[in-house]
A and B are shown apart, each in its own frame.
Chain A
Amino acid sequence: MTAPGPRSEQLRALFDPRGVVVAGASSHPGKFGFVALHNILSQGYRGEVYATNREGGTILGVESVSSIDDLPAGAAVDMVFVCTPAAANLELLAACARRGITAAFITSAGYGESGAAGREAERELVARATELGIVIAGPNGQGVISTPSQLCAQIVAPCPPPGRIGVASQSGNFVSSFQNYAVQTGIGISRAVSAGNAAMVGVPDYLDFFAHDPETTVGLAYVEGIRDGRAFFDRMRTITPQQPLVLLKGGATAGGERAAASHTGALASDDRVFDGMCHQAGITRADNVEEAFEAAASFATQPLPHGPRVAVVTTAGGWGVVTADAITRSSNLQLAELSDDLRAAIDAKLPPRWSRSNPIDLAGGETRDTIPELLELVARDDGVDSIVYLGLGIQSNQAQLMKDGRYYPGDGLERIVAYHERQDERFARAAAEISDATGKPILTATELAIAAPENPGPRTVRETGRLCYAASNRAVTALGHLRRYAQWLERRA
């Protein structure tokens, strides 16, 4: 049973409360009631923080009160983070309503996930909350993150850097996975929420909120069971024209198992219908968690490509060839044909051994300014819609070997190390600036993003707020997702 959808001001109270009270805060560092309070405090939440504990006492410097009714008179609290046992929660909600609290994140288990009695308890919880005008996230969820408020109200790690991705998940652990990728890549998150049992607020409700949230530019969701597929489809179609939406789906459902009399039915496994539904609704469907995060990170940090034509700019041949293969295999991207004008312009910058076709392989012919100049030339060309740039960080990688070797400092090594590091920083910045200036995606890919994340190349890519793709095929996959969504929008404009 899904109650009427939450009002957006109720969800605002969940994500950007003026103050939070942790109900059932614990002095034991192994308990959720401690961890929640710890994470809220240690991550520097901007609002007021209170705690309830039956015995009272000070926890992490917060003077707890024995019940919500004992909160100080002037306390401005919009959200309660509930770590109390399920049996205590109906009374708790009533007390919260008396104090004007309008949002509750409920971590407590013992609800719909645990048999008939739990389902009944969940129904009562929702009924009571609805009566009281309180919106409930969870129960049985891991928490909520909101970086604009520096709110890290969750019972798990990590706390992601701020950014533009809004995460909603039926599985709390996938929220953690996406947050770990955010920490690793530097591509941050605006809001993240574990829907838990989704008794009152489901993943579609959160995605709807994100679509109207100025802090969020892309939704990223993990779903398993969908209660009403048709309603889900109709809802998603209202979101995707406003904001890209990346979906990872787990599990096959029981549907489609009925032996079908028709061939059409036999070919209609759930997944194919689901896939078609995603295409129709403009949903970006990813095959795995990494692809889902990288697609969302790309939507959050790159402009949309206005066409399918991709240029590959590479300092080494093999990488370009493999990337060209990936582009050719992609169903909606193609290798850009170099115009005579562009070829002549590149001729003026490089010795004649360059590839003279796409991939644009510099073949080691570049000098100090070649890469920024070339990226600019290619990005400004009318026959190119996006660029994949390969080879960033190689020289700094050698510089690192010099820094680590026994001849450093000395033998002129400091100068060359500093030069290489400066150059890679410059190239990474040029890629971002030229992309901003031309409105065309420029995706930088190198395994150094993972192998040597502090290499000045990938490090500077992160500093520009962009994703440094760990492999060119991953950049191509992400670009394919951007192009598919852009085309979906163009065709329905």
Chain B
Amino acid sequence: MGPTAVGANVDPPMATLSEVRSSRLLAEYGVPVLPQRTAPTAGDAVVAAAELGFPVVVKLCGDAIAHKTERGLVRLNLPDERAVHHAAGELLDLARADDVDVELLVAPMVRGTRELIAGVHTDEQFGRCVMLGFGGILAEAIADVSFRLIPLEPIDAEEMIEDLRTQRLLGPFRGEPAVDRAALVATLLGLSELATAEPDVVSVDVNPLIVVDGRPVAVDALVEMSS
């Protein structure tokens, strides 16, 4: 081991993938993502929404846009064609010159009381690892999370889920069924496979991973690559 292996602190240049490209990459490795459509114009967004079924979410998306929510580029729970057309027009107007190429992203509006967070993290000492935790706006304060180094075996994924302190949230909750642990295991294994097969992936942030009728679905995703 060379003397620069730890603490070198040379941050390699990073690039983020757009949400669309991030989601496609996740889907390739079996991580459940929402069916979504891209649309260059407000009119195309309306067509896409009609195909997916209402209500929908419309977002402004681009490789240079990492924090959509903070910039107000997400419109939730749009009930009909008119609302979609209006929101899409507003979002396109919010695009800035430095956003470069942007497009609209249309996805079904899903609801679930429980939000998880999952991802891939590169640890300075241990290298890349898969993460699972309880998500939502309180995620960092609650910090109920678990990590495993890649590659994960199925038993590692099962034990990650057991590691979470708030086990009660994984059972039947507020009229929703218990979280489908097999589906969650498959999601974690998908993240592990993705990281193993794609050495340039530095981090994956699936936040939130919403539990819909007991099954986890990635609603937003951000992949960071070393470039």
Q: A residues engaging B (CB < 8 A)? A: 1-2, 226-231, 233, 253-256, 258, 260-268, 270, 272-277, 279-280, 331, 491-492
Q: How long is the Cα–Cα vector from A263 to B120 in the complex, in angstroms?
A: 10
Partner of A264, one of B159, B160, B204: B204
* Given A229-B127, A256-B124, residue A277 in contact with residue B205 (CB < 8 A): no
Taking a contact as CB atoms under 8 Å apart, the answer to whether A263 and B207 are in contact is yes
Taking a contact as CB atoms under 8 Å apart, the answer to whether A262 and B205 are in contact is yes
Interface residues of B in 38-92 (CB under 8 A from A): 66
Q: How long is the Cα–Cα vector from A369 to B129 in the complex, in angstroms?
A: 56
Q: Which residue of A lies closest to B145 (CB)?
A: A267
B179 located at the interface, meaning its Cβ lies under 8 Å from any Cβ of chain A in the complex:
no
**Stretch from B3-11, B28-36, B101-109, B211-219 contacting the other chain:** B3-11
A12: shortest Cβ distance to chain B, in Å? 26
CB-CB under 8 A from B139, the residues of chain A are 263, 267
Q: How long is the Cα–Cα vector from A231 to B146 in the complex, in angstroms?
A: 21
Taking a contact as CB atoms under 8 Å apart, the answer to whether A262 and B123 are in contact is no
Q: How long is the Cα–Cα vector from A231 to B149 in the complex, in angstroms?
A: 12
Taking a contact as CB atoms under 8 Å apart, the answer to whether A229 and B125 are in contact is yes
Q: How long is the Cα–Cα vector from A275 to B144 in the complex, in angstroms?
A: 13
Q: How long is the Cα–Cα vector from A492 to B159 in the complex, in angstroms?
A: 12
Taking a contact as CB atoms under 8 Å apart, the answer to whether A266 and B125 are in contact is no
The 4 A-B pairs with the shortest beta carbon distances in the complex, nearest first, are A229-B125, A276-B147, A264-B119, A255-B124
| 28 pairs, CB–CB < 8 Å, chain A vs chain B | A1-B3, A227-B1, A227-B6, A228-B5, A230-B126, A230-B127, A253-B124, A254-B124, A256-B124, A264-B118, A264-B207, A266-B140, A267-B139, A267-B143, A267-B145, A268-B147, A273-B121, A273-B123, A273-B129, A276-B146, A276-B147, A276-B149, A276-B160, A276-B163, A277-B147, A279-B148, A280-B148, A492-B155
Taking a contact as CB atoms under 8 Å apart, the answer to whether B1 and A233 are in contact is no
Taking a contact as CB atoms under 8 Å apart, the answer to whether A270 and B125 are in contact is yes
Known A273-B126, A276-B163; 4 more pairs at CB < 8 Å: A230-B125, A231-B1, A272-B143, A273-B125
Q: Which residue of A lies closest to B165 (CB)?
A: A331
Q: B residues engaging A (CB < 8 A)? A: 1, 3, 5-7, 9, 11, 14, 16, 66, 117-121, 123-127, 129, 131, 133, 135, 139-140, 143, 145-149, 155-156, 159-160, 162-163, 203-205, 207, 222, 224
B86: shortest Cβ distance to chain A, in Å? 31
Partner of B66, one of A261, A264, A266, A492: A261
Taking a contact as CB atoms under 8 Å apart, the answer to whether A268 and B1 are in contact is no
B22: shortest Cβ distance to chain A, in Å? 11
A255: shortest Cβ distance to chain B, in Å? 4
A369: shortest Cβ distance to chain B, in Å? 42
Q: How many A-B residue pairs have CB under 8 A?
A: 121
Q: How long is the Cα–Cα vector from A254 to B9 in the complex, in angstroms?
A: 10
Q: How long is the Cα–Cα vector from A272 to B125 in the complex, in angstroms?
A: 12
Taking a contact as CB atoms under 8 Å apart, the answer to whether B123 and A268 are in contact is yes
Q: How long is the Cα–Cα vector from A418 to B85 in the complex, in angstroms?
A: 93
CB-CB under 8 A from B160, the residues of chain A are 276
Taking a contact as CB atoms under 8 Å apart, the answer to whether A233 and B124 are in contact is no
Taking a contact as CB atoms under 8 Å apart, the answer to whether B205 and A263 are in contact is yes
CB-CB under 8 A from A331, the residues of chain B are 162
Partner of B121, one of A230, A268, A277, A491: A268
Taking a contact as CB atoms under 8 Å apart, the answer to whether B1 and A1 are in contact is yes
* Given A276-B147, A280-B149, residue A261 in contact with residue B9 (CB < 8 A): no
CB-CB under 8 A from B147, the residues of chain A are 268, 272-273, 275-277
Partner of A226, one of B16, B125, B131: B125
Taking a contact as CB atoms under 8 Å apart, the answer to whether B1 and A2 are in contact is yes
Taking a contact as CB atoms under 8 Å apart, the answer to whether A491 and B155 are in contact is yes
Q: Which residue of A lies closest to B155 (CB)?
A: A491
Taking a contact as CB atoms under 8 Å apart, the answer to whether A261 and B14 are in contact is yes
* Given A261-B14, A262-B119, A263-B205, residue A279 in contact with residue B125 (CB < 8 A): no
Taking a contact as CB atoms under 8 Å apart, the answer to whether B7 and A254 are in contact is yes
CB-CB under 8 A from A1, the residues of chain B are 1, 3
Partner of B222, one of A230, A262, A492: A262
CB-CB under 8 A from A254, the residues of chain B are 7, 124
Taking a contact as CB atoms under 8 Å apart, the answer to whether A261 and B140 are in contact is no
Residue in A253, A272, A276 with the greatest tally of chain B CB atoms within 10 Å = A276
Partner of B117, one of A230, A267, A274: A267
Taking a contact as CB atoms under 8 Å apart, the answer to whether B124 and A263 are in contact is no
B5: shortest Cβ distance to chain A, in Å? 6
Taking a contact as CB atoms under 8 Å apart, the answer to whether A277 and B1 are in contact is no
Q: How long is the Cα–Cα vector from A280 to B159 in the complex, in angstroms?
A: 8
B83: shortest Cβ distance to chain A, in Å? 29
Taking a contact as CB atoms under 8 Å apart, the answer to whether B119 and A276 are in contact is no
B69: shortest Cβ distance to chain A, in Å? 11
Q: How long is the Cα–Cα vector from A270 to B123 in the complex, in angstroms?
A: 8
